[in-house]
Homo-oligomer: A and B are copies of this chain.
Amino acid sequence: MPKAIYEDIYRDLKGKIQEGTYSYQEFLPTENELTVSYGCSRNTLRRAISMLADDAYVQPMHGRGVRVIWQRDQRVAQGSLDGVESFGEYAKRNDAQPTTSVKSFEQVTCGAGLASRTGFPEGSELIRVVRVRSLNGVARQVDHDYFLASAVPGLTPEIASTSVYRYLEGQLNMRILTSRRRITVQLATDEDCSYLNLGPYNCVAVIESQSYNSAGIMFEYTQVRHHPEEFSYNTVSRR
């Protein structure tokens, strides 16, 4: 594993901001001071700072310094950035029991309609999986996953019922490097209503996602339909 220096510095500074060593609206020590204390080059330090800026932890100001803009107990974007908490993470944090029920598992050939919806080439062989994921027995989301069959050999309904990602990373040594996402709100379908107990809501939050592996191949399209309660997507935008 290539433990990069900038990664260490990034984590160290992030921790110091979170624990209050550098607090909201304060300035970090200057780049020169930090390069001395970390014993690294200015480029390496600046890379770590740039990552903190991408996370909206700091904001560098030309000619002035690097100001901390992170504060505790923020309602907006306090959790993990660019994403909903993963199902497992959320379950763990809330001491809830996560379960996954596989409703469908089949191989399909990508037709024109599916191709334009998912971004897979027409004619691709895909594995379609529909799953309902619950916490403490309460259904929270319906996943519609399409995997490029050639990219996920050996995928079974049993694996789909636990963690596909653990299988991909552990067994196939595949990582998701890039994923494009689109968030919309849609009227709940009969299927949504039958799986999720929507209560007063007649809509679901939908995240569509195209994921690319380390070979630059799009191997997964997912459409996750969330119960509106507890759905929250946090992100940061910079110019």
User: Interface of A with B (CB < 8 Å)?
Assistant: 25, 53, 56, 59, 61, 67, 69, 71, 73-77, 82-83, 116-117, 119, 175-187, 200-205, 208-210, 212, 214-216, 218, 226, 228, 231-239
Q: Kindly list chain B residues whose C-beta atoms are within 8 Å of the C-beta of A216.
A: 25, 59, 61, 67, 69
A187 near B212: Cβ-Cβ < 8 Å: no
Tell me the minimal C-beta distance from A123 to chain B in angstroms. 15
Contact among B69, B200, B205, B237 with A218 in the assembled complex (CB-CB below 8 Å): B69
Q: Kindly list chain B residues whose C-beta atoms are within 8 Å of the C-beta of A56.
A: 178-180, 212
Residue of B nearest to A227 (CB): B185
Known: A116-B73, A187-B201. A214 touches B61 (CB 8 A): yes
Q: Kindly list chain B residues whose C-beta atoms are within 8 Å of the C-beta of A176.
A: 239
Inter-chain CA distance A231–B73, complex, in Å, is 28
Which of A116, A175, A200, A205 is packed against the most chain B CB atoms within 10 Å? A205
Known: A117-B75, A202-B202. A180 touches B234 (CB 8 A): yes
The 9 closest A-B pairs by CB, nearest first: A67-B216, A77-B180, A203-B203, A185-B228, A82-B237, A183-B233, A59-B216, A76-B182, A185-B205
Known: A182-B234, A200-B187. A239 touches B74 (CB 8 A): no
**Copies of the chain in the assembly:** 2
Residue of B nearest to A223 (CB): B76
Known: A69-B216, A175-B239. A119 touches B75 (CB 8 A): yes
Known: A25-B216, A202-B200, A212-B69. A75 touches B234 (CB 8 A): no
Show 24 residue pairs from A and B whose CB-CB distance is below 8 angstroms, ordered by the A residue.
Answer: A59-B178, A61-B214, A69-B178, A74-B119, A74-B180, A75-B116, A75-B119, A76-B119, A82-B237, A83-B237, A175-B239, A176-B239, A178-B237, A178-B238, A181-B234, A181-B237, A183-B183, A183-B232, A183-B233, A184-B205, A184-B228, A184-B233, A185-B203, A186-B228
Tell me the minimal C-beta distance from A50 to chain B in angstroms. 10
A184 near B76: Cβ-Cβ < 8 Å: no
